[in-house]
A and B are shown apart, each in its own frame.
Chain A
Amino acid sequence: MSRLPFAPRARGTLRCAIRCLCTLSCAATLALVVACSTWQAPADFSTSGLRERAQTATRHEIRVSAAVLSAEDRRQMLGVELDKTRVQPVWVEVQNRTAEPLMLLRPGTDPDYFSPLEVAWSMHGIFAPAANARINAHLDQLGFKNPVLPGETKAGLLFINPERATRLLNIDLLQRKTLIPFSLFLRVPDDAGEKWFAEGLFQPHGSEIKDYDDLAALRAALERLPCCAADANGRANGDPFNAILVGEFADIATAFVRRGYRRSTHPADALERAFGRMPDAVVRKQSQAGAPATWVRVWITPMRFDGHSVYLAQVARPTGGRFAPREAQNLVLHEDVDEARNFLIQDMMYSAGLDKLGFVTGVGPVSQAQPRTTFSGAHYFSDGLRAVMFFATRPLSLSQVQMLDWEPYLDWRQSPARKEIDDARK
């Protein structure tokens, strides 16, 4: 057999091997520089400072306290310098005054959390086995350990992906045939940025609150909300408001966190205005290889339903998605906003937090042939519906989601976009 056909692969392999060796040697040199073979675990660390600023909540005889470590805490407690843009250590204490053991479910806090020894491995130096072992042992004992037995109080660190300014910490505690979720809002020390999160999440600004107690009245009110965001000058041709979230903010946040959404802002978010202000919160689904993915921008409204907050939201994804060129910085709205909305609903079905689902009008149908143009220059089309999702605290299974008999939701079947496809088919 001729060897010729394999030559290109062999050349590719060689190039790859050379690249591999170069990378490894660079990494090795760096590691040697960084590694400190004389590393010693820091002296015992007092948690009194953490306790002072910790947020605490108690529910069903279980008390949870948590605080994000400051740079000083990280230095004193961990004894290693962590890349704060990659890992955020959070101190958590759980006191169990029930008669059953508890298990903290880490994927409920961050589906992409890090194990203590994984964090330790990133700190290891080459040719420093003794020091590496000390780093391992130290980080390992700092990690939060399950279970929390009846009568016990346990404290430890969770190593999770960072959030800025305000850490929205979800703690799911599993007990036999029970789940007790906690949501805490923690200040991130040493971070003065992103002031506009958490200010508007709980209290609507400047307007009188209108409370609705029946679904029909709520539906009518939701349909009267503006179709789209305004720009800073009040001109209403921003992205469409294609979703409504009803529930306690903590329950909504829990559902999003469980499905891999993290708070993450982009300069383009701040251009979109509702009630004269920028979004109160923005979350983005974490997609593969850090590619940009679906965003959800949220504003609290001056409405309440059955005592719960009502949030107005934009759901969309950037053009290009996971296939956008790596260097692309601009996030341009993808025209099919209904698709992003529909897949958000499906994601929420698996969050265990979605209680009810319905659709209302309000965006106004827009055909693909005559799309709307936003003030940012993006185009979109839509069936004109907004999805209304109601969230609950108690965990729900897939078979417990109630579908409201509101606007019939027929995907593309009756939408202008669908009609065009049918026409094109003829």
Chain B
Amino acid sequence: MHRMVRHVLSATAVAAALAGCASQPPPTASLDYKSSAVTRSDGGLRVSTAVLSAAESEAVYGVPLANRSIQPVWVEVKNQEDRAYYLLSPGLDPNFFPASEAAEAFFSGAPQDERTALDRHFRRLAFRNPVAPGATTSGFVLTNLDEGFKFVNLDLVADGRSRHFSVLAIVPGLRTDYHISEVFRQGIYPPQDIVNYTDDASFQAALEALPCCVTNEEGSRNGDPLNLVVVGGLDDAFPAFARRGWRGTEEKWSGSIMKVVNSALSGERYPYAPVSDLYLFGRAQDLALQKARDNVHQRNHLRLWLSPMQYHGKQVWVGQISRDIGSRMTVHTATLTTHKIDPDVDEARSALTQDMAYSVTLAKFGFVKGVGAAPQSAPRENLTTDPYYTDGLRCVLVFDQTHTSLAQIEFFLSQGIYENGGQPPGRVKP
């Protein structure tokens, strides 16, 4: 018997157990993920979820999904409301894999009957909509692979109603990221150091008093401007990033550097590349996210540091965003390559603001000073000597758990301050 079919058959037993067939043997060690699932409730919905490690996903699916950068997320929904709910896969990952498509990743060289078996197996494991009133449904959504941690964002919709759940999943594996969960608990600051702002004027003053820029490790040189403030946390801000395709980045390590180089040569979209460390509050970024575009040359990336501030009880993250428009050689990094950033750093900041307008949970946004203007005629340089210029503003994005429409987004803080507002008009004749 072909090895793949054997794998699939053994995995079928696991799947049957998962589906709750009482006659099946008890779950094996590969079902550990289910016992470590995180559970959340809202209204009459109870949701449990777990992200599978490479070994677990191979045990369940019978094929090495991680080798094709596919990561199953297990979701169980118990619906005790009066209407059917639908789980939205694009909310977990806008570039998710339909079950049938993921199966096709393993079709190469397999005869037709094996392809059919594989396809059926994948579709049987998939999460099935809808979740009828009174029912409990479980299954997998296939997402792009994240290592270390993953923002699991679950949007469920029903007739005239929606519910939202969000979980920070620590992905078991070689590079499991435990620092991140500590950060989200704001455990890096003692409670007495945390300042909660409830009026906009003092919040604005505090944001404007932050340093202009990130620094190198010694704090002796300034780098990219701190042009971004994200207000919110796991329940509101990071789900918004997940919905719009923003994902964690790898730490710098040789394996990922080579993946980037290969990706650069082939022009393929490599959604997952390392960023170099920059410093604020005496430490490297707590979190780096990026949004892949058509290929590795084109991506937006941002770094965030959790601050000791809060705004109406919400976490306040301070960070830096820039747009990579290509790769170039440099002597300022150990890898001798760096991303060429768009010198108009304000453009990347506006791109994020505009992207987040479509994220479903952006409640309000505005601008504060604090970066210090650097005109085009006298640009500043970041740590890898890329020039940049800016209007000197930082963008403040406030997220809320409530699903809002594009017609409900509020502007704040920016009395008289408008992004790019001070720029001279272009040469195009009116």
Do A and B interact with each other, yes or no? yes
A-side interface residues toward B, CB under 8 Å? 12-13, 16-17, 19-20, 23, 44-47, 77, 101, 103, 105-108, 112, 115-118, 121-122, 136-137, 140-143, 145-147, 149, 153-156, 172, 174, 176-179, 258, 260, 287-290, 317, 319-324, 334, 336, 339-340, 342-343, 346-347, 349-350, 352, 394-403, 409-413, 421, 424-425
Option from A156, A176, A320 in Cβ contact (under 8 Å) with B428: A156
List B contacts of A141 (CB < 8 A).
Answer: 426-428
Residues of B participating in the A interface, judged by any CB pair closer than 8 Å: 16, 68, 83-84, 86, 88-91, 94-95, 97-101, 104-105, 107, 120, 123-124, 128-130, 155, 157-162, 243, 258, 261-262, 264-265, 267-269, 271, 292-295, 298, 323, 325-326, 340, 342-344, 347-348, 350-351, 354-355, 357-358, 360, 376, 403-411, 418-421, 423, 425-430
Instruction: Return 17 A-B CB contacts under 8 Å, by A number.
Output: A103-B354, A106-B354, A140-B344, A145-B420, A147-B420, A174-B406, A176-B410, A176-B411, A177-B408, A288-B271, A289-B267, A290-B294, A317-B98, A339-B98, A350-B360, A395-B406, A425-B16
Taking the nearest CB of chain A, how far is it from the CB of B227, in angstroms? 15
Residue among B90, B162, B351, B358 with most chain A CB within 10 A: B358
> Which residue of the partner chain, among B105, B160, B323, B325, contacts A401 with CB atoms under 8 Å?
B160
Given A16-B261, A178-B407, A339-B100 in contact, is the A117-B128 Cβ separation under 8 Å?
no
Contact B88 A346 (CB under 8 A): yes
Q: In the complex, what's the smallest C-beta–C-beta distance from B146 to chain A, in angstroms?
A: 15
Given A115-B325, A179-B407, A399-B162: 15 more A-B contacts, CB < 8 Å: A20-B264, A47-B428, A103-B354, A106-B351, A107-B355, A112-B293, A143-B426, A179-B405, A260-B94, A321-B98, A350-B243, A395-B407, A397-B404, A410-B130, A412-B123
A147 and B98 in contact (CB under 8 A), knowing A13-B258, A352-B406? no
Closest residue of chain B to A174, judged by CB? B357
Pair A397/B403 contact, Cβ less than 8 Å:
yes
| A340-B358 Cα distance, complex, nearest whole Å | 23
Judging by beta carbons under 8 Å apart, are A117 and B343 in contact?
yes
Q: Check A349–B88 contact: CB distance below 8 A.
A: yes
Chain B residues near A346 (CB, 8 Å)? 86, 88-90
Q: Looking across the interface, which residue of chain B has its beta carbon closest to that of A354?
A: B157
B426 touches A156 (CB 8 A): yes
Interface centre among B98, B160, B360 (most CB of A within 10 A): B98
Chain B nearest CB, measured from A372 CB (Å): 17
Contacts of B357 on A, CB cut-off 8 Å?
105, 107, 174
C-alpha spacing A289/B264, complex, angstroms: 12
**CB pair B354 A105 closer than 8 Å:** yes
User: In the assembly, what is the distance between CA of A350 and CA of B244, in Å?
Assistant: 10
Q: Which 6 A-B pairs have the closest CB atoms?
A: A395-B406, A403-B159, A399-B162, A321-B101, A141-B426, A398-B162
For A178, the closest partner residue in chain B by CB is: B407
Contacts of A396 in B (CB 8 A): 405
Q: Which residues of B contact A155 (CB under 8 A)?
A: 426, 428, 430
Contact check: which of A106, A117, A176 meets B342 at CB < 8 Å? A117
B389's nearest neighbour on chain A, judged by CB, is A140
Task: List, in ascending order, chain A residues with CB within 8 A of B160's CB.
Answer: 399-403
Contacts of A394 in B (CB 8 A): 405, 407
Q: How far is it, in angstroms, between the C-alpha of A413 and the C-alpha of B90 when the chains are bound?
A: 22
Shortest A375–chain B CB gap in Å is 22
Bound-state Cα–Cα, A287 to B155, Å: 22
| A23-B407 in contact (CB<8A) | no
Please state if A397 and B423 are interface contacts (CB–CB under 8 Å).
no
- In the assembled complex, the Cα of A188 lies from the Cα of B96 at a distance in Å of 33
Instruction: Select one of B105, B162, B294 contacting A397, CB under 8 A.
Output: B162
Q: How far is the CB of B293 from chain A (nearest CB, A)?
A: 6
A112 to B354, CA, bound (A): 12
| CA gap between A47 and B265 in the complex, in Å | 40
CB distance from A308 to the nearest CB of B (A): 20
- Asked if A145 and B354 sit within 8 Å, CB to CB, the answer is no
A23 → chain B, closest Cβ, in Å?
6
Please, which residue of chain A has its CB at the minimum distance from the CB of B161?
Answer: A399
Assembly CA distance A339 to B68 (angstroms):
21
Contact indicator A349/B429 (Cβ below 8 Å)? no
Chain A residue numbers with a CB within 8 Å of B97 are 321-322
Q: Are B406 and A118 in contact (CB under 8 A)?
A: no
Does B418 contact A101, Cβ atoms closer than 8 Å?
yes
Q: Is B354 within 8 A of A340, CB to CB? A: no
Which among B68, B83, B292, B411 has the highest number of chain A CB atoms within 10 Å? B411
Could you tell me if B104 and A115 are in contact, using CB atoms closer than 8 angstroms?
A: no
Residues of A contacting B423 in the complex (Cβ-Cβ under 8 angstroms):
145
Give chain A nearest CB distance to B64 CB in angstroms. 14
- Decide: B123 and A421 in contact? CB cutoff 8 A: yes
B-chain residues with CB within 8 Å of residue A421 when the two chains form the complex: 120, 123-124
Contact A343 B426 (CB under 8 A): no
**Contact status A322-B101, CB under 8 Å:** yes
A residues in contact with B326, CB < 8 Å? 121-122
Would you call B100 and A336 a contact (CB within 8 A)?
A: yes
Q: In the assembled complex, which residues on chain A have CB atoms less than 8 Å from the CB atom of B129?
A: 342, 411
Best-surrounded residue of A47, A122, A288 (most CB of chain B within 10 A)? A288
Knowing A44-B429, A399-B161, say if A323 contacts B101 (CB, 8 Å).
yes
* Contacting residue for A319 out of B104, B243, B347, CB 8 A: B104
When distances are taken between beta carbons in the complex, the residues of chain B under 8 Å from A260 are: 94
Kindly identify which residue among B101, B105, B128 contacts A317, using a CB–CB cutoff of 8 Å.
B101
- What is the bound-complex CA distance between A287 and B99, given in angstroms? 16
Known A-B contacts A105-B357, A146-B419, A346-B86; A177 and B410 likewise in contact (beta carbons under 8 Å): yes
CA distance in complex: A350, B358 (Å): 8
Q: Tell me which residues across on chain B come within 8 A of A343, comparing CB atoms.
A: 89-90, 98
Minimum CB–CB distance from B416 to chain A (whole Å) comes to 11
Contact B426 A142 (CB under 8 A): yes
Chain B residues contacting A320 (CB-CB under 8 Å) are: 104, 107
Query: From residue B67, how far is it (CB to closest CB) to chain A in Å?
Result: 12
Chain B min CB distance to A279 (Å):
23
Instruction: Give the docked Cα–Cα distance between A323 and B84 (Å).
Output: 33
List the B side residues contacting A103 at CB < 8 Å: 354, 419
Selected from B268, B343, B421, the residue in CB contact (under 8 A) with A289 is: B268
Instruction: Decide yes or no: A401 and B104 within 8 Å by CB, A44-B427, A106-B351, A343-B98 being known contacts.
Output: no
